[in-house]
Amino acid sequence: MNLARAIPGVFFCIFFVGSCFSNKYVLSVLKFTYPTLFQGWQTCIGALLLLVTGKLGWVEINGFPSRSRSFLCCKTCQKWSSLFLLDGLEKRSSWVKTFSESLMLLSAITLALQNRQFGLNGYIWAVIHFCCVGSYKVFQRNSTSSHLSDLEQQLINYMVSILLLATATHPTGDLFGALDFPFLWSYTFYSGCFASAILGFFLVLASVKLKSGLSLVHCAVWLFLAKILASALSIFIFSIELGPLTLCCILTSHVAEALSIHANSLLES
């Protein structure tokens, strides 16, 4: 891989690590435990920046009819139930891939059961995140979305996320609970929020640029390297207690992801 092709991957790793660290700073260090507000802020800023940069011509955002958007949303709901069935049929073609993803699932469940300090709400939001990611994957697999660019699909994703998070703010109590947050008027809190939103937006742009020039396997390799880099640097930047079981789960997850990438490379070849 030459230097020109490696530059998008390097920028992707930088924005990935920066986005993860800014999120961890706000959520873990400052303990801002109001996910609907924090995620809503990120999606609002991301959608706004995407619209502004599209209007300025810095990124390509073409208009698309409302009927196409509504049709795509309906197809997303219809195909949600078939997501895991289709993926399961594809994964049977490689036992290594099935084994690696089972290892990742096992390590994630073990890590979640060990760290119960997050409370019930943390696990509920983890399930919601899983469902949202699955729905978005169905949307991306929909053949009718082929005429939409990655950034246009991301814009729709932002809009839908804003609506969902806005409706969930009041039932979860985040809107009124945040008023008692001790760092509400702190400079460091707003700096972290702005950094997370801006870095998240640049991460989206870097992801689109990376996918436009590389195969899916090479993109997965860069994502894997970014995760390794974030895991390694977090030990030196944040105060983290790594017990034997936690360290084993992290290493197992990384090894399983490497096996999954290897299995995908064999299927492509």
Q: HSE-up of 58 (CA within 13 Å, CB side)?
A: 8
The model's pLDDT over 84-99, given as tens digits with 9 standing for 90+, comes to 334 443 444 467 778 8
- Residue with more model confidence, 232 or 173: 232
Is the pLDDT at 78 greater than 60? The verdict is no
- Residue with more model confidence, 177 or 71: 177
d(CA 73, CA 160): 9
The model's pLDDT over 209-258, given as tens digits with 9 standing for 90+, comes to 998 888 888 999 999 999 999 999 998 888 877 788 888 888 998 999 99
Looking at residue 19, its pLDDT comes to 95
The count of other CB atoms within 10 Å of the CB of residue 255 is 14
Is the pLDDT at 166 greater than 60? The verdict is yes
Among 7, 17, 29, residue whose Cα is nearest residue 191: 29
Residues with Cβ within 8 Å of residue 98, at least 6 apart in sequence? 91, 92
Angle between helices 95-114 and 244-268 (to 10 degrees): 160
The model's pLDDT over 125-159, given as tens digits with 9 standing for 90+, comes to 667 767 776 666 666 665 555 567 888 888 888 88
For the CA atoms of 85, 90, 96, 100, the dihedral, rounded to the nearest 10 degrees, stands at -40
Q: What is the mean pLDDT of residues 35-39?
A: 83
Judged by DSSP in three states, 261 sits in helix
